[in-house]
Amino acid sequence: GAGVSQSPSNKVTEKGKDVELRCDPISGHTALYWYRQSLGQGLEFLIYFQGNSAPDKSGLPSDRFSAERTGGSVSTLTIQRTQQEDSAVYLCASSLWAGSYNEQFFGPGTRLTVL
Amino acid sequence: AQSVTQPDIHITVSEGASLELRCNYSYGATPYLFWYVQSPGQGLQLLLKYFSGDTLVQGIKGFEAEFKRSQSSFNLRKPSVHWSDAAEYFCAVALGDSNYQLIWGAGTKLIIKP
């Protein structure tokens, strides 16, 4: 595609429910990143993929958070038993390869609201 | 711990005036430095980056930034702002080529007065 796409753009859920957030990276990009942006904060790194592998999951805030990537393309971030503090904008980015020299291209984000 | 500070939460400038947005980082060596812009309803876009070499770097949309090692700063500038520059600006650092994580400042919201 022309850019990184994310769905849904907005998600409102009740506390305790599970949610899935989807990211479609730019075609041909092998690296994919998930970030969380809370109100008034910078971006918080969550996890990245090189291909289908996630070498570092240390940014995931709790074991309620998980992510997978299939076919080296689409990625899904799953939050189980959502809490109000999970409310934030979740951003996905992709780059040709992982590493600082490679520009990360960002999607428009999914705004998650947990009631 | 490494950190990035953008001391101004909001900045208001008149259209046509010059702009400087501040960014300071805390890291023992020279990091890789980035400025991103986030316009309403749009994704983050890279404005410019510094890896090495000339400390004054040019970016898109008429922006430039200067790396000052002695001040651990990487301030963003534009000689004359346009109403379309109203957005939120983020400074970010990476701690080396193999370090994929970007450490982000909290952002500066730029407001343009007509």
Contact A48 B43 (CB under 8 A): no
Q: Which two tokens stand for residue B7?
A: 């001391």
DSSP character string of chain B = --EEE---SEEEEETTS-EEE--EEE-SS--EEEEEEE-TTS-EEEEEEE-SS-SEEE-GGG-EEEEEGGGTEEEEEESS--GGG-EEEEEEEESSTT--PPEE---EEEEEE-
Compare CB distances from A42 to B41, B99, B107 and report the shortest one's residue.
B107
> Is the pLDDT confidence value at A1 over 60?
no
Contacts of A109 in chain B (CB under 8 A): 43
Superfamily of domain B3-113: Immunoglobulins (2.60.40.10)
pLDDT at B27: 81
Do B47 and B59 meet the contact criterion of CB atoms below 8 Å apart? yes
Domain ranges of chain A: 5-114
Residue A102: band (very low, low, confident or very high) from pLDDT cuts 50, 70, 90: confident
Closest residue in B to A43 (Cα–Cα): B104
Contact B43 A103 (CB under 8 A): no
- Residues A18-32 have a mean pLDDT of 95
Residue with the bigger pLDDT between A25 and B96: it is A25
pLDDT at B63: 97
CATH 2.60.40.10 is the classification of domain A5-114? yes
Closest residue in B to A39 (Cα–Cα): B106
pLDDT at B97: 62
Compare CB distances from B97 to A42, A91, A100 and report the shortest one's residue.
A100
Domain ranges of chain B: 3-113
Give the rounded distance of the alpha carbon of B91 from its chain centre. Answer: 4
pLDDT at B96: 67
- Residues A6-17 have a mean pLDDT of 97
Strands A110-114 and A10-13: parallel
Compare CB distances from A100 to B9, B44, B99 and report the shortest one's residue.
B99
A to B CB pairs, distance under 8 Å: 57
